[in-house]
């Protein structure tokens, strides 16, 4: 058994093994797989798979189960990447910006980053007009935004949340 990482559960630490990693590889691609299907692939009983999945969820290794939606089929044909530079980086200013981005519907991802930009955002919008409205609502009227740089995605070459 090859030990990879440790899972925190209360005060206990339990080591993940290769079976856990195999299960994680499968469910990160399809969270709707049944324990029976997973058990056939990893060589464990369905009950053992269910126990492991429960532990992986409770420990936070599996943060949540989601459905990946097609932006274009929902009328959100544009993906935009925005680098944002703040004027001030006090804890209050950072927390305020993070809160606003968490609440902005078109923001898919928001990263607090090192380097030139303080934040990198991934947005999906219907059209450039919606993005313009977003910038007016969140950047132009915000005194703590020093500047922002926009890149429009021309082609979605790879979209994934896979970790393993």
Write out the two tokens for 105: 């519907």
Write out the two tokens for 38: 């997973």
The string of DSSP codes covering 56-122 is HHHTTSS--------TGGGT--EEEEEEEEES---HHHHHHHHHHHHH-TTEEEEEE-SSS-SEEEE
Residue 132 has, within 13 A of its CA and on its CB side, a CA count of 3
Secondary structure of residue 159 in the 3-state scheme: coil
- Give the tens place of pLDDT for each residue, 57-115: 999 999 999 888 999 999 999 999 999 999 998 999 999 999 999 999 999 999 999 99
pTM for the whole thing? 0.82
* pLDDT for the residue numbered 48: 97
- Give the tens place of pLDDT for each residue, 35-56: 999 999 999 999 999 999 999 9
- How many CB atoms are closer than 10 A to CB 97? 21
């Amino acid at each position: 058994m090859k030990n990879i990482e440790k899972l925190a559960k209360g005060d206990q630490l339990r080591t993940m093994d290769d079976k856990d990693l195999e299960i994680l590889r499968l469910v990160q691609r399809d969270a709707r797989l049944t324990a029976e299907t997973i058990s056939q692939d990893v060589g464990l009983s369905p009950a053992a798979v269910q126990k492991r999945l429960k532990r992986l969820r409770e420990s936070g290794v599996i943060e949540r189960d989601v459905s990946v939606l097609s932006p274009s089929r929902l009328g959100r044909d544009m993906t935009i990447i925005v680098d944002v530079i703040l004027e001030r980086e006090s804890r209050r200013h950072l927390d305020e910006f993070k809160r606003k981005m968490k609440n902005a519907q078109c923001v898919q991802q928001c990263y607090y980053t090192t380097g030139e930009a303080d934040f990198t955002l991934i947005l999906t919008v219907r059209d450039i007009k919606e993005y313009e409205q977003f910038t007016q609502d969140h950047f132009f009227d915000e005194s703590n935004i020093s500047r922002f740089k926009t890149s429009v995605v021309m082609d979605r070459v790879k979209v994934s949340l896979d970790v393993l």
